[in-house]
């Protein structure tokens, strides 16, 4: 796979040179214009089932927790199929006021959590689902700096094991990814989009919770303290030492409809 990043010659504006889907018509993220969202009050909350967290990896672009599941973890709401939890990861800023991928009425949050699920009704493996329409469903939560979040303490402890790129840590103590989600799971927006990183396949339905999750400044700094280079390596002169600002700018809506499960 070709090199890509978030700044300069390999930044988002150049992704389409090597990854043609990046200039498609249903790209993510988007700005959610709340007054334009189409209300569907019949949309109920998703049915979510916890899954086992297997390991956590710093891949130099984000920190990702891989899930070990052999059952349905997400269905209902706007989904027509059963989805299995594959992994979750984060996008965040180097400072407050930036970091989320989606924005709401033009306003970014400080970070964004993506829980990536794949369609087991139609596909046999996550790799098969990845590029295909209805292949993925990404449950998304906004994160903002505010009060401390007790569920995040376990996550922050895990992050200390994957400071550098390519660090991987096997998770022994039970960790419930669903504890990272907001309390209000009834109010969300949903639309048809894409992977927000190359190869930007147009395969993902996003389900984005309206209520952001609050974490303390100290908890947020655990993400900002991760490094984008390998242990013992000197960071490249034009790369930031710290792993942050790993968000893609918003993409055009191109006539797509964003549906809201709630009346604003």
Residues that bind Zn ion (CB under 5 A): 114
Q: Which C-beta is closer to Zn ion: that of 114 or that of 117?
A: 114
C-beta closer to Zn ion: residue 24 or 235 = 24
Residue 111 vs 220, nearer CB to Zn ion: 111
Q: Which is nearer to Zn ion, 111 or 215 (CB)?
A: 111
The verdict on whether omega for the bond into residue 41 sits within 30 degrees of 0, i.e. cis, is no
Bond into 142 cis (ω within 30): no
Provide, rounded to whole angstroms, the least separation between the CB of residue 11 and Zn ion. Answer: 16
CB of 178 to Zn ion, least distance (A): 17
Nearer to Zn ion, 40 or 104 (CB): 104
- Nearest approach in angstroms of CB 232 to Zn ion is 28
> Rounded to the nearest whole angstrom, what is the least distance from the CB of residue 264 to Zn ion in the complex?
26
- Least CB distance to Zn ion at residue 116 (A): 7
CA distances to 41, 65, 98, 160 from 142, in Å: 22, 18, 11, 22
């Amino acid at each position: 796979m070709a090199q890509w990043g978030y700044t300069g010659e390999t930044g988002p504006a150049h992704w389409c040179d090597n990854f043609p889907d990046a200039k498609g018509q249903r790209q993510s993220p988007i700005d959610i214009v709340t007054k334009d969202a189409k209300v569907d009050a019949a949309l109920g909350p998703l049915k979510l089932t916890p899954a086992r967290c297997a390991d956590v990896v710093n891949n130099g672009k984000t920190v990702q927790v891989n899930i070990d599941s052999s059952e349905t973890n997400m269905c209902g709401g706007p989904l027509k199929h059963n989805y299995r939890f594959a992994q979750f990861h984060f996008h965040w800023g180097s400072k407050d006021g930036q970091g989320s991928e989606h924005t709401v009425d033009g306003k970014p949050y400080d970070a964004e959590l993506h829980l990536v699920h794949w369609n087991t009704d139609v596909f046999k493996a996550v790799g098969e689902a990845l590029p295909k329409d209805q292949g993925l469903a990404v449950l998304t939560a906004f994160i903002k700096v505010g009060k401390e979040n007790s569920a995040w303490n376990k996550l922050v402890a895990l992050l200390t094991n994957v400071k550098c790129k390519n660090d991987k840590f096997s998770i022994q103590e039970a960790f419930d990814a669903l504890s990272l989600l907001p309390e209000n799971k009834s109010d969300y927006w949903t639309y048809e989009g894409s992977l927000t990183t190359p190869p930007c396949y147009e395969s993902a339905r996003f389900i984005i919770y309206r209520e952001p999750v609050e974490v303390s400044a100290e908890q947020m700094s655990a993400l900002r303290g991760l490094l984008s280079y390998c242990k013992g390596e000197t960071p490249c002169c034009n790369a930031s030492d710290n792993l942050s600002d790993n968000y893609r700018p918003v993409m055009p809506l191109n006539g797509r409809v964003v549906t809201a499960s709630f009346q604003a």
